[in-house]
Amino acid sequence: MMTITKLVIYGFGKHENVTIDLQQGINVLYGPNEAGKTTIRQFILHTLFGFPQRGSSLLRYEPKTGGAYGGQVHVTDSEFGPCVIERIAGRSAGEVTVRFPDGREEGEDTLGRLLRGYDRQSFESIFSFSLLQLQEIGRMNEEELGEALIASGTTGAEDLAGFKAQMEKEMDGLFKKSGRVPRMNVLLTELKEAEDKIGEYRKKSDAYAPMKERAAEIALRLNEIAEEEAAITADQERLSVLRQAAPLEIERLRAEEELQEIGDAPFPADGIRRYEALKDRKMAADAAIRNLQERIAAAGREMPEEPDAERLSSLRSVLAEEAAWHEAHSMETSAELSLRELAGMKDGLLARLGLDDGERFAGADASIRKEEELHGLSQEHDRAFRNLERLDERMAEKTAEAGRIAQERAALEASGPEDEEIEWASKWPTLRKRLVAAEAKQRGQTDSRLPILILAGLAVLIIAMAIFSENWLFAAAGVVAGVASVYLLLKGGGGDDGLTEDERRLLSRYGGREEELDRRAERVGRHFAELDRLIEDEERLRSEAAEIRSLRQAAAATLDHAENRLGAFLEAYGITGRLPAAIVPELFRLVRELQETMRRIRSEEEKRNRAIRISGSIRSRAHHLIGHAVPDPLLFSALKKAERDLVRDAETRERLFEEQKRLVEERDEAKSLTAALETEIGVLLDAAAAADEQAFYEASGQAGRKAELLETLRRIGEQLKQIGAPIAEDIPDIGEIGLRMERNRRSLESLLDDRNRLLKEQAELEARMSHLVADTAYDALLQEFEEKKAVFRGYAVEWAARKAAVSAIEAATGRLKEEKLPDVIGRASGWFRNLTGGAHSALVLTRGGRIEAEGANGLRFDLHELSQATKEQAYISMRLSLATSLLESAPFPIIMDDPFVHFDRVRLGNMINLLEELKIHHQFLYFTCHKEMAGAFNEAAVISVAEAGSERGVLK
């Protein structure tokens, strides 16, 4: 039995530093609502089974004020003795220490053993219940009860059932007796298939033995075939030899026969060739003779006449003059050329001299003295001419001058002053004198000299103007003015201090106008001076002109004289008319040139004539030699040809003579050769015993055939030897040989076919056999099969293990139920009857596994058909019965939270009696808010749980 002796709460929910002492038997913990009763119950559960996980549906009761969390539950256990279980904050379930009086400190493991493997859930399902939890057993059937029983000592009923269910599920996934999908069933199919495959491979392997036998047979048969083939082939070879030998034999016989016929056939060795060679040579020699004969005749025909030696020498002498001929020709040509040129020159000169014929010049005197003479004449003439010209010029000058002066005088006269003016002017000087004197008198000689100075200046001015304008009249006036001024100046002013009337009139008339009046007077004076001068010049010019005229007459006479003398001189040279003056110096040069030209003409003419003479002589001789006229340019080539022809004829003739001689010699030689050849031919014919050529050829044919036959025989002999024909055997008929060979050939063919077929079969067999013996697929298949088997076996173990586990669970739980359940129900049934005061006689387990209540009248009720209180009484009976039945394995205190509130007095009394009865084996902790319950039990410890909020308010 396990008893909780003390609770020490460090901090749990509202409780802090609370200590509660408990006793054996019944403990009533009383307190009003919210006093913390439930908290204390939870403290016990939490301390024993651990604080709930954070976040789980259960409260953790951590102190809201902070501070220590947890506490101690002091326990005395029949098996473990006294110990203190302390749980404080640590990992989420809290840190547990189990302390024993001997000082040992243990942990969760020991606590687990102390709690006999119970977890909170299984503990609560039996040993701790509130009114609410009371009904959690559910429908209260056999299964539930069984599970409640089973829950004892395992992690929980659900775990075991769930585990079992899981195992079953896994088993189903692995194997089903008649399934297809589970892994092992699938594998089974595969294994069967693999087996079949292996079977097939075995079958294939079984074919190996027959194949091997067949291979041996084939090898045997192939050997036989080889032997047969060898035999037939040998025969075939022999027949083939015979077949080759047969026609040879026939040929040999024929050849020998023919030899017999031919017999002895003499013929000189190489006879035909020799004969034919000789014959050829003889024919050649005959032909040569004929040819020579013809050529001799031809040479005679071709031979030219004997050439004329005289003509040849004449030709050669003419030919020797070829150079002279060409020279004459070129001389003629050049002379002609010169002549033409000189004639031109002569004509030019004559033209220049203005002559038609130069003949008179040929003898003219062209000496230097004559030339000098002409020169003098010419100069004289020129001088006269020039003189005349000069005089003419002077004459013209004088005439022009006279004309001009006359003009001037006329102009002067036309512009002369009026007559009164002239008269006034003639008086002015006197007037002036008087005026001046008057003025001087008037002014007192103060400025008597001034008008004179002005007059002088005026004179100068007038002269200058005259010079400038070339107006001589002005000049004269100027001079006059000047003279006057000088005069006045010299005389000095005799002042007119005492003016007369006249003088006063004069002064009034002329005073102050002196200058103007001076100028008027001067002008008149100047006009008359000029006129005088012109008259004078005219006089002078007349005298000069007369002089010049006389001089010109003399000069013209001189010129005529000079002209006449020159004309006479030129006459002598045939020049008539007036000789151009420019030519005169040239004359003599031209004359001399003309004379030279004419001389050269004559010389060239001589040269030409000489050349013509020479070429004419050569040409006439040549023409005679050639035999006909030839144009000059071809003359010498014709001559040369004539010469060449003559020489060639001579040579030809010579050559032909030589050739004719040689040919005659050759012909004679050929004739003697022919004779020799004829002799030799005769000898050959004799050797062949032939009369003529035909006989000789026949003999040759015989001899040749004989040799051929002998050769044939030799060849046949050799061939027979080569073929290997049996010498001493009868050679059978060739037809028979053919037949036998054909037969052999067919046999061989059929053997070959057989052999090929067999070889093919053998190759195939060998390939198949070697494939079979080398095939690793079979090994692979076996391995695969084994692997599958291994997998299958692995699965089998898995399945079996699960099956075993399930069976074990079933067996153990079954036995548990079988053994304990009737006990539990029986006891519960008794208590239930007592509690209900006999109203219900029993609790019964139906065949269907449900629990029913049996009424006193024997009627049965399903539990949920009972009244609330009765139902609760049934449950409590069942729980207490379970607890009692588990006393050995789970001797825990029973903790109740006001479960009897629905009970009437009688049934409560019954209940209390029951507990009193049971308290010997179980400690009871009874939490209640009903004060009367505190006193309901005998010997119960009553603990008052303080009002809400009070501390240390736990009363005893």
- Alpha helices (runs of H) in 263-308, residue ranges in sequence order: 271-302
Q: Does 780 bind other proteins (CB under 8 A)?
A: yes
First to last CA, the chain: 24
Residue from 668, 749, 786, 947 in contact with other proteins (CB under 8 A): 786
Q: Does 217 bind other proteins (CB under 8 A)?
A: no
Distance CA 900, CA 134 (A): 10
Residue from 188, 246, 454, 741 in contact with other proteins (CB under 8 A): 188
Q: Does 800 bind other proteins (CB under 8 A)?
A: yes
Taking the least distance from each CB to other proteins, the nearer of 734 and 809 is 809
Q: Does 441 bind other proteins (CB under 8 A)?
A: no
Q: Does 154 bind other proteins (CB under 8 A)?
A: yes
Taking the least distance from each CB to other proteins, the nearer of 727 and 773 is 773
Q: Which of 141, 574, 164 is nearest to 350 (CA)?
A: 574
Q: Show Cβ contacts of residue 318 under 8 Å, excluding neighbours closer than 6 positions.
A: 618, 621, 622, 625, 639
User: Residue 610 corresponds to which amino acid?
Assistant: R
Q: From the CB of 788, what's the least distance to other proteins, in Å?
A: 7
Taking the least distance from each CB to other proteins, the nearer of 696 and 795 is 795
Annotate each residue in 816-855 with x if it binds other proteins (CB under 8 A) or - if it does not, as one string.
x---------------------------------------
Q: From the CB of 228, what's the least distance to other proteins, in Å?
A: 28
Subset of residues 196 to 215 that bind other proteins, contact rule: CB under 8 A = 198, 201-202, 205-206, 208-209, 212
Q: Count each helix (H run) and each strand (E run) in the chain, helices first.
A: 26, 14
Annotate each residue in 50-79 with x if it binds other proteins (CB under 8 A) or - if it does not, as one string.
x-xx--x-----------------------
Is residue 525 within 8 A of residue 425, CB to CB? The reply is: yes
The DSSP result for 176-214, as a single string, is: -TT-SSSHHHHHHHHHHHHHHHHHHHHHHHHTHHHHHHH
161: exposed, middle or buried (Cβ count in 10 Å: 0-12, 13-18, 19+): middle
Residue from 139, 427, 644, 793 in contact with other proteins (CB under 8 A): 793
Subset of residues 16 to 55 that bind other proteins, contact rule: CB under 8 A = 49-50, 52-53
Q: Does 792 bind other proteins (CB under 8 A)?
A: yes
Q: Does 411 bind other proteins (CB under 8 A)?
A: no
Stretch in the footprint of other proteins (CB under 8 A) among 307-315, 662-670, 717-725, 804-812: 804-812
Q: From the CB of 114, what's the least distance to other proteins, in Å?
A: 11
The count of chain residues that interact with other proteins, using the rule CB under 8 A, is 80
Q: From the CB of 68, what's the least distance to other proteins, in Å?
A: 20
Q: From the CB of 42, what's the least distance to other proteins, in Å?
A: 13
Stretch in the footprint of other proteins (CB under 8 A) among 318-326, 420-428, 628-636, 784-792: 784-792
Distance CA 654, CA 658 (A): 7
> Which residue pairs from 403-410 have beta carbons closer than 8 angstroms and sit at least 24 positions apart in sequence?
405/534, 405/537, 405/538, 405/541, 406/538, 408/534, 409/531, 409/534, 409/535, 409/538
Distance CA 799, CA 802 (A): 5
Residue from 467, 804, 856, 887 in contact with other proteins (CB under 8 A): 804
Q: From the CB of 110, what's the least distance to other proteins, in Å?
A: 11
Asked whether the CA dihedral 728, 729, 730, 735 is positive or negative, the reply is: negative
Q: Show Cβ contacts of residue 589 under 8 Å, excluding neighbours closer than 6 positions.
A: none
User: What pairs with residue 942 in β-bridges?
Assistant: 28
Stretch in the footprint of other proteins (CB under 8 A) among 128-136, 160-168, 425-433, 451-459: 160-168
Subset of residues 162 to 181 that bind other proteins, contact rule: CB under 8 A = 163, 166-167, 175, 177
Q: Which of 112, 93, 98 is nearest to 154 (CA)?
A: 112
Q: Tokens representing 28?
A: 């009533």
Subset of residues 871 to 890 that bind other proteins, contact rule: CB under 8 A = 889
Subset of residues 234 to 273 that bind other proteins, contact rule: CB under 8 A = none
Q: Does 794 bind other proteins (CB under 8 A)?
A: yes
Taking the least distance from each CB to other proteins, the nearer of 209 and 414 is 209
Q: Residue 854 in 3-state DSSP?
A: strand
Q: From the CB of 2, what's the least distance to other proteins, in Å?
A: 15
Q: Does 805 bind other proteins (CB under 8 A)?
A: yes
User: Residue 167 corresponds to which amino acid?
Assistant: M
Taking the least distance from each CB to other proteins, the nearer of 788 and 902 is 788
Taking the least distance from each CB to other proteins, the nearer of 159 and 322 is 159
Distance CA 576, CA 631 (A): 52
Q: From the CB of 89, what's the least distance to other proteins, in Å?
A: 14
Q: From the CB of 163, what's the least distance to other proteins, in Å?
A: 5
Q: From the CB of 11, what's the least distance to other proteins, in Å?
A: 20
Q: DSSP character for 417? A: P
Subset of residues 718 to 777 that bind other proteins, contact rule: CB under 8 A = 772-776
Q: Residue 895 in 3-state DSSP?
A: strand
> In this structure, are strands 851-855 and 860-862 parallel, antiparallel, or unpaired?
antiparallel
Distance CA 925, CA 25 (A): 8
In what side-by-side order are the strands of the sheet with 851-855? 840-845, 851-855, 860-862
Q: DSSP character for 863? A: G
Q: Does 808 bind other proteins (CB under 8 A)?
A: yes
Taking the least distance from each CB to other proteins, the nearer of 155 and 240 is 155
Subset of residues 104 to 143 that bind other proteins, contact rule: CB under 8 A = 108-109, 112-113, 115-117, 119-121
Q: Show Cβ contacts of residue 496 under 8 Å, excluding neighbours closer than 6 positions.
A: 434, 436, 437, 438, 439, 440, 441, 442, 503
Q: Does 782 bind other proteins (CB under 8 A)?
A: yes
Is residue 863 within 8 A of residue 874, CB to CB? The reply is: yes
Taking the least distance from each CB to other proteins, the nearer of 120 and 375 is 120
Q: Does 93 bind other proteins (CB under 8 A)?
A: yes
Taking the least distance from each CB to other proteins, the nearer of 112 and 826 is 112
Q: Tokens representing 694?
A: 């035909």
Taking the least distance from each CB to other proteins, the nearer of 3 and 813 is 813
